[in-house]
Amino acid sequence: MWLLVAIAAQFVNGSSAVIDKLLLKKSYPNPIGYTFWLGILGVFSLVFLPFGFRILNLSEAGLAFLAGIFFILAMLFYFYALFYGEASNSVILIGAISPVFTYIFSSLILGIELSSHQFVGFSILIFGGLILFFVESAPFRLKIGLFALASAFSFGLSNTLTKSVFEMTNFATGFIWIKLAGLFTVLAFLLLPALRGKILRPKGKDEFKSKWAYFLNRSYAGGGSVLIYYALLLGLPPLVDSTYNLKYVFIFLGGWLILRERFRGWALVGKIAALVVITLGILWLAVGEYYKSDAWASAGWAPDPQREVVWGVTFSQKFSEKLGSDPHTYFAVAQSANSKDGKVGEGAYWRENYDAIIKELKPKRIRLIAYWDMIEREEDKFDFQNLDYQMDEAAFSGARVILAVGRKLPRWPECHEPEWARAKSSKLKAQSLLKYIEAVVNRYKNHPALLYWQVENEPFLKFGECPPLDKEFLDEEITLVKSLDSNHPVLITDSGELGLWFGAVKRGDIFGTTMYRRIYNDTLGFIEYHLPPEFFGLKEKIIRRLTGEHEKKFIVSELAAEPWLPEQLYETALDEQLKYFDLDFFKNTIDYAKASGFDEYYLWGAEWWFWLKIKHNTPEFWEYAEKLLSRNNI
């Protein structure tokens, strides 16, 4: 609701700003006088007297007066900035920095913190305002910058104090007191001879030519002011203030059509780009607010918090072996109660890891990986011993398995092809890959543990040491699997944050998304996605509509439950790992995932939890996962 009110307010304020510029430059070049009469118009706030007005106590009245005083100061500095600069320059500069001050003051004074989706929308709108400022062709002048900075500072403090007043009283009372404070402030201008002269005896032959236009515009802008105050009552000050940049649309059009301001070349491109960014920011906030509203729930789109949720894990024999390659880890396993005769032989660690997952965590679902380079170490010689063990143990425990086949499979370096295949031509390598897939499918298509086939891992995401995607060959792989086994669905996966999903959804019988919140990028460093969990639900709805796949099953095939660091986990100090992924963040990730609305999740990190428990005597992650998976829904 606050967002709709704020948008309406910015529509009024944006068009009014263009008229302000027209009047100041051509008929009433007097920021002092303009501010004075703006404050005088505060007397019309008394129309709200019948709507619950009350007398405030001393502290409440003091806050209201401070809010009103800083509002008048903000407008005074605003009019000076507008007078000395272009309408599409000075106003936009204030719009870019004012929300930042509002956010700072709201955090310090009111303790307000923005949620993830709110912070993203706030940042997008600020970014749009900064684009506008930096593409301006007019030279930046220090005087304009100082007035804009002072105005933004005062707006930020006034907005925060206004919200504080509304938290103590009703809208009518707060609005009247704040506006009367502004009225008394501008009346104080008359006590200073220099200001009194500019108000009562302004210079300029055209000073009264458009006085009726001036008063009409002030009345019009007054409506926008009421809407802004009401939006502050309903919403958070930083978010309300960040919508200030919506004025750009109207200032851009008004500056072009009325004030004859011209924008060409890169300046025009930049302004259009900023308009797109600002629009995206508003849409982002709108979607987030809709998700939180009763309308979202009544439409049947909000996830049912009581729904049955199935939790599974991914297990990688390769990754487990690497974690277990440390001799201290082997020793710990050898001494554990699960070790066979206390001896550690070939493959002991990964089997201990897998057995513990099956017997202690007891997942109902598990994703296993048929690594080509482990099954076919020598050409045409297939070794299924280890994968047989994993499949059979899963079946014995009652767990159902997603079995991933292909060349691009989970865990670094993503591309898992045998050494002998690398020397082959692309055509011969493709033939060998299909032969391996055929062997795997034929061996396990009737296995009681098999639930789905997964063909390749995130094939549409360029990541890891793999060649670019060949869509035709991916289709050939999928066709081969379905021709050999028509009884089990094929899962195709894609990146949750970066993937478009479209190609994967169209090709698979089931679609799987990843869900990562903290990642590391070689260029950008550590990144935290400030995406609300509803992002995934919205993306699902959009893709279903675009593809027409309204009944297809969507799952989270990879829910990150271990840290993503510059080096491999077994190469990184434990304190560095826990710095980026501690137990609280693990628990928060589970809550986040449940709020996204899916009902089947495969956690990524079971090998790491076991490694922490065995090598580092840090069993908390394992114990929490055990609780989660054994109860299946916490």
Q: Is 358's pLDDT higher than 50?
A: yes
Q: Which residue has the higher pLDDT, 131 or 248?
A: 131
Which whole number is the average pLDDT over 76-87?
Answer: 77
For the chain, the straight-line distance linking the first and the last C-alpha, in angstroms and rounded, comes to 33
Among 465, 452, 367, 451, CA closest to 412: 465
Among 180, 206, 208, 237, CA closest to 53: 180
Task: Tell me what pLDDT residue 343 has.
Answer: 38
Q: What confidence tier does 331 reach under pLDDT thresholds 50, 70, 90?
A: very low
Among 412, 436, 432, 434, CA closest to 424: 432
Task: Tell me what pLDDT residue 481 has.
Answer: 99
Two tokens, residue 452: 């789905």
ω into residue 413 within 30 of 0, thus cis? yes
Task: Tell me what pLDDT residue 137 has.
Answer: 53
Q: What confidence tier does 152 reach under pLDDT thresholds 50, 70, 90?
A: very high
Superfamily of domain 310-631: Glycosidases (3.20.20.80)
Q: Is 75's pLDDT higher than 80?
A: yes
Q: What is the pLDDT of residues 82-111, one digit of tens each?
A: 777 655 566 677 877 888 899 899 999 999
Among 338, 321, 340, 313, CA closest to 394: 313
Q: Is 214's pLDDT higher than 70?
A: no
Q: Is 327's pLDDT higher than 70?
A: no
Which whole number is the average pLDDT over 110-123?
Answer: 83
Task: Tell me what pLDDT residue 139 has.
Answer: 58
Q: What confidence tier does 7 reach under pLDDT thresholds 50, 70, 90?
A: confident
Q: What is the pLDDT of residues 379-422, one digit of tens each?
A: 999 999 999 999 999 999 999 999 999 999 999 999 999 999 99
Question: What residues are paired with 526 via a beta bridge?
Answer: 520
Task: Tell me what pLDDT residue 9 has.
Answer: 85
Q: What is the pLDDT of residues 456-494, one digit of tens each?
A: 999 999 988 888 899 999 999 999 999 999 999 999 999
Poorest-pLDDT segment among 105-114, 338-347, 501-510, 577-586 = 338-347
Q: What confidence tier does 363 reach under pLDDT thresholds 50, 70, 90?
A: very high
Q: How many helical (H) and strand (E) elements, i.e. helices and strands, does the chain have?
A: 27, 10
Percentage of the chain surpassing pLDDT 90?
Answer: 56
As a whole number of Å, the CA-based R_g of the chain is 32
Q: Is 268's pLDDT higher than 80?
A: no
Which whole number is the average pLDDT over 257-269?
Answer: 66
Contact 442, 478 (CB under 8 A): no
Cα–Cα distance measured from residue 604 to residue 608, given in angstroms and rounded to the nearest whole number: 9
Contact 175, 109 (CB under 8 A): no
Which whole number is the average pLDDT over 498-502?
Answer: 95
Contact 253, 15 (CB under 8 A): no
Q: What is the pLDDT of residues 46-67, one digit of tens each?
A: 999 999 999 999 999 999 999 9
Cα–Cα distance measured from residue 334 to residue 243, given in angstroms and rounded to the nearest whole number: 62
Task: Tell me what pLDDT residue 208 has.
Answer: 43
Percentage of the chain surpassing pLDDT 70?
Answer: 84
Cα–Cα distance measured from residue 509 to residue 382, given in angstroms and rounded to the nearest whole number: 28
Q: Which residue has the higher pLDDT, 351 or 142?
A: 351
Cα–Cα distance measured from residue 424 to residue 414, given in angstroms and rounded to the nearest whole number: 19
Half-sphere exposure (Cβ direction) of 265: Cα atoms closer than 13 Å: 4
Poorest-pLDDT segment among 43-52, 270-279, 393-402, 577-586 = 270-279
Give residue limits of the domains in the chain.
Answer: 2-291, 310-631
Cα–Cα distance measured from residue 343 to residue 335, given in angstroms and rounded to the nearest whole number: 8
Cβ neighbours around 259 below 10 Å, total: 18
Task: Tell me what pLDDT residue 601 has.
Answer: 98
- Contacts for 248 with CB less than 8 Å, ≥ 6 apart: 14, 88, 92, 95, 128, 129, 132, 271, 274, 275, 278
Residue 603 three-state SS: strand
Among 75, 85, 129, 106, CA closest to 243: 129
Q: Is 177's pLDDT higher than 90?
A: yes
Task: Tell me what pLDDT residue 338 has.
Answer: 44
Q: Which residue has the higher pLDDT, 224 or 314?
A: 314
Q: What confidence tier does 342 reach under pLDDT thresholds 50, 70, 90?
A: very low
Among 444, 443, 418, CA closest to 432: 418
Residue 415 three-state SS: strand
Two tokens, residue 189: 């201008």
The mean of the pLDDT values for the chain is 86
Q: What confidence tier does 198 reach under pLDDT thresholds 50, 70, 90?
A: confident
Task: Tell me what pLDDT residue 421 has.
Answer: 96
Residue 519 three-state SS: strand
Cα–Cα distance measured from residue 491 to residue 510, given in angstroms and rounded to the nearest whole number: 5
